[in-house]
Amino acid sequence: MIKLANFLLSVSLILASGSSLAQSMPDFPHISVTGEAKIEVAPDMVTLQFQISATENDANQAVDVVTQRASDIVSLVKEKGLTRKDIETWAIDKQTRRERDPASGLLKITGYEVTQRFILHINGLEKYEAIVNELLRMPNTERLNAEFDVTQRESLTRELTAKAAKDAKRRAQEMAYGLDVKISSVYAISQAGDFSQPLAKFAMSEAQYDRAGGGGRFELFAPQHITLEKHISVIFQITP
């Protein structure tokens, strides 16, 4: 009797705790668990987004600055081994800047802002380091944002999914053992989370560490690794 009461209490607590599964909770005794798996890998792909921007009193001058800088950037990335397919860009955008004249109350034109956005798809961290260090020192480049990834993401994701599922089963078995019940079958499975844009963790290379403090220019360095994670939520049916 005590064993049955403990079992019913445990099941009630599990039901009350909720689950990240999209499906509604079943009406039979069950255990809901989330398994997880993660791996740290060195990235070998970078998607680099940025824009060129110029604000001038004369519209022609602002356009000239942006088009010249765009030409400089294309020359740079071609030199570093990027092809036409590795470069995405948008049409030039122009915004008119206005201020209200305090005397007349009328709006007057104070200048023109011209921008053009770019996305570079870079294979190899050495190319990324060389390109981004030049872009950072170029006039008129701003809002640089890099997203790091790996070419083997699909196969790594499959491996992580399998590991997360095994982790969920292990957690369920441990819970079932502690509750003195048995897992009988899987009722539902869902992805509880997938970090498609992992955060990169940066670290100095040995060569950069050795060069630091020697009076030379300190360059931006590429991330040491990124963390890929996978979470799987599973509902297991249980029996006393």
Give the pLDDT of residue 138: 95
Predicted confidence (pLDDT) per residue in 15-29, tens digit? 444 444 445 678 889
Rounded mean pLDDT, 174-201: 78
Q: What is the CATH number of domain 45-149?
A: 3.30.70.2970
Average pLDDT of the residues of the chain? 83
Q: Which of 70, 65, 207, 48 is nearest to 132 (CA)?
A: 48
CA dist 145 and 200 (Å) reads 12
Task: Give domain 17-42+152-239's CATH superfamily.
Answer: Protein of unknown function (DUF541), domain 1 (3.30.110.170)
Among the listed residues 45, 50, 120, 116, the one whose alpha carbon sits nearest the alpha carbon of residue 85: 120
Could you write out the DSSP letters of every residue in 119-136? EEEEESHHHHHHHHHHHH
pLDDT for 71 beyond 50:
yes
Residue 12, pLDDT > 50, answer no
Give CA–CA dist 36/233, Å, rounded. 9
Mean pLDDT highest for which of 23-32, 67-76, 228-237? 67-76
**Domain residue spans of the chain:** 17-42+152-239, 45-149
**pLDDT (mean) for 2-6:** 45
- Does the structure show a pLDDT above 60 at 197? no
